């Protein structure tokens, strides 16, 4: 009964490979996010989807492509992995309403990506 | 764009001492949220402040939102080893906005 789940938990791969990280939430939320947390623990938003539509796309390389098959899933595909992509990637979800008071975010456990 | 500054970046305290982390935004916020991330864990929501001058308490934790809604603080009284982790503030700039801007966090170490 995990609220926000991510797979895999760990991902070790070679430079140049393509990989995907999956995220699912069972909270019935409308909005899902991808964050990148680097070695200094800075949490930076990458993408946000609301009801399967992209609403935030921060300045990330276009090697990163999010895909939302339905509002419970938001996957992240990364092409041509680089050393600098090594980080922990967190998926999160929230229920948006007319009032900002309803946008507490629930985070997944994270995927630690290591690019060799 | 909106920036949220958080200080200090690190804080080491003796168990039983108090701890405070401060957050400042470059713009007026509609609300501010606080999260705690334990070592090796994921951010977990602690609280949300919405009203100007709001003060909320959770046991030994006291959260404040400034009158101008541009700053906030989290104060922990008599720290315990279970308080160890990184505390993040995150500001939302407008009602219905989907984007939280996170501060860089304050990493708290508690020496037993």
Indicate whether B15 pLDDT > 90.
yes
pLDDT band of residue B80 (cuts 50, 70, 90) is very high
Q: What is the CA radius of gyration of chain A?
A: 14
Indicate whether B8 pLDDT > 70.
yes
How far apart, in Å, are the Cα atoms of A65 and each of A31, A32, A34, A38, B98?
Answer: 17, 14, 11, 19, 19
Ranking A9-13, A70-74, B63-67, B105-109 by mean pLDDT, the lowest is A70-74
Rounded to an integer, what distance in angstroms lies between the CA atom of residue A65 and that of residue A82?
15
Indicate whether B65 pLDDT > 90.
yes
How far apart, in Å, are the Cα atoms of B62 and each of A59, B47, B86?
Answer: 35, 10, 16
Contact predicate B49/B31, CB 8 Å: yes
Indicate whether A61 pLDDT > 60.
yes
Positive or negative, the Cα torsion across B48, A103, B10, B53? negative
Indicate whether B37 pLDDT > 90.
yes
Question: Among all residues of chain A, which has the CA nearest to that of B30?
Answer: A100
- Find the CB nearest B92 among A44, A98, A103: A103
- Exposed/middle/buried for residue A41 (C-beta within 10 Å: 0-12, 13-18, 19+): middle
The answer to whether B98 contacts A43, with C-beta atoms less than 8 Å apart, is no
Instruction: Name residues whose C-beta falls within 8 Å of residue B36's C-beta, 6 or more positions apart in sequence.
Output: B43, B44, B46, B85, B86, B87, B88
- Find the CB nearest A100 among B44, B92, B101: B92
Cβ-based interface (< 8 Å): residues of B facing A: 30-31, 33, 35, 37, 41-45, 48, 50, 86, 88, 90, 92, 94-102, 104-105, 107
- Exposed/middle/buried for residue B13 (C-beta within 10 Å: 0-12, 13-18, 19+): middle
């Amino acid at each position: 009964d995990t609220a926000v789940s991510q797979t895999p938990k760990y991902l070790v791969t070679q430079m140049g490979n393509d990989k995907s990280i999956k995220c699912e939430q069972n909270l019935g939320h409308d909005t899902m996010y991808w964050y990148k947390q680097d070695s200094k623990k800075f949490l930076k938003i990458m993408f946000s989807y609301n009801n399967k539509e992209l609403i935030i796309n921060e300045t990330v390389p276009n090697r990163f492509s999010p895909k939302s098959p339905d509002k419970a899933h938001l996957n992240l595909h990364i092409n041509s992995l680089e050393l600098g992509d090594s980080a922990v990637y967190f998926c999160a979800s929230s229920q948006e309403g007319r009032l900002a008071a309803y946008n507490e975010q629930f985070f997944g456990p994270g995927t630690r990506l290591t690019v060799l | 764009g909106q920036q949220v500054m958080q200080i200090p970046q690190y804080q080491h305290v003796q168990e039983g001492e108090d701890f405070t982390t401060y957050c400042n935004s470059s713009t007026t916020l509609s609300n501010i949220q606080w999260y705690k991330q334990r070592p090796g864990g994921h951010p977990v929501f602690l609280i949300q402040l919405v009203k100007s001058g709001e003060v909320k308490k959770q046991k030994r934790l006291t959260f404040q939102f400034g009158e101008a809604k541009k700053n906030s603080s989290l104060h922990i009284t008599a720290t315990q080893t279970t308080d160890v982790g990184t505390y993040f503030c995150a500001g939302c700039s407008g009602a219905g906005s989907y984007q939280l801007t996170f501060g860089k966090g304050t990493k708290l170490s508690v020496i037993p």
